[in-house]
Amino acid sequence: MNKKYLHLFFDLDRTLWDFDKSAYQTFCDMYENHGLSQKNIPDVDVFFKTYNQVNELLWDQYRAGTLTKEILRDLRFQQTLMKFGVDNAKLAERLSDYYLYHSPRNVHLFPQASEVLAVLQKEYQLHMITNGFEEVQHIKLSTSGLGKYFETIVTSEEAGVKKPDPKIFHFALNKAGASAADSLMIGDDLEVDVLGAKAVGIDQVYFNPEKAKHNSQPTYEIVALIELTTMLSN
């Protein structure tokens, strides 16, 4: 391997950026400095878990296009607080602002993310396709120092559609000046990244650090990013 590929397309959240760690850290700080223990919210873990359940349901609607990001941002903290009997839109707004500001600045990357990108950058053109919000993703790329490795970055906001919609992959290929045949997509989400790329003829690497069981057949599967360097070294 691997003369076949010229262009590597990476997902960001939960592939390079350890989204869950950085969100959890932000929640710990937020729980402390907004006095949430006095608000009938027993501990940060319960609060975080509840938020994740609420957020996931709302994200499904956002992905389906039935919810705007502004409404999503308003609702997720409001609904989380309501689960604890706290009806306080002002507080929800403060938590939302706090989270949006701090979470992309709480840098947690998967092991060796920067090192692997630095190695791969020497032999491949690196690109990004992410479903995250435009401004948030660019802050993450700058606070983490990962931005410098990527020649093109496509967010779903820019493309007008989200992965796994084929349009975003075509948009990204076009922007990169790449063809599906010489490209490889690396991501943690089977439906969004792997099947999305497969549908447009791009080979895929399924990043599966939790070793989740599944029935899909990605082109490759890895549990650690470092495997990319051996897999893709010429």
Between 78 and 130, name the residue whose CB sits nearer to Mg ion. Answer: 130
70 Cβ contact list (under 8 Å, min separation 6): none
Residue 18 within binding range of Mg ion, rule CB under 5 A = no
Instruction: Write the DSSP symbol of residue 103.
Output: G
Identify the residue among 8, 10, 13, 144 touching Mg ion (CB under 5 A): 13
Stretch that binds Mg ion, among 7-15, 49-57, 70-78, 209-217 (CB under 5 A): 7-15
CB of 191 to Mg ion, least distance (A): 11
Question: In this structure, what are the phi and psi dihedrals at residue 127, rounded to the nearest 5 degrees?
Answer: -140, 165
Between 16 and 173, name the residue whose CB sits nearer to Mg ion. Answer: 16
Distance CA 155, CA 53 (A): 24
CB of 14 to Mg ion, least distance (A): 4
Between 26 and 131, name the residue whose CB sits nearer to Mg ion. Answer: 131
Between 36 and 140, name the residue whose CB sits nearer to Mg ion. Answer: 140
Between 188 and 203, name the residue whose CB sits nearer to Mg ion. Answer: 188
Encoded amino acid at 103, one letter: S
159-198 residues near Mg ion, rule: CB under 5 A = 188-189
CB of 231 to Mg ion, least distance (A): 19
Q: Torsion angle of alpha carbons 110, 114, 115, 116, nearest 10°?
A: 70
- β-bridge pairing 152-155 and 125-130: parallel
Contact indicator for 149, 117 with CB cutoff of 8 Å? yes
Please tell me the count of residues contacting Mg ion according to CB under 5 A.
5
CB of 15 to Mg ion, least distance (A): 5
Identify the residue among 11, 18, 165, 203 touching Mg ion (CB under 5 A): 11
Distance CA 33, CA 26 (A): 11
87: left (phi over 0), alpha (psi -120 to 50) or beta: beta
Residue 14 within binding range of Mg ion, rule CB under 5 A = yes
CB of 17 to Mg ion, least distance (A): 8
CB of 192 to Mg ion, least distance (A): 7
Tokens 């223990």, residue? 37
Between 122 and 212, name the residue whose CB sits nearer to Mg ion. Answer: 212
Distance CA 188, CA 18 (A): 11
Distance CA 26, CA 4 (A): 41
**Interacting residues toward Mg ion by CB under 5 A:** 11, 13-14, 188-189
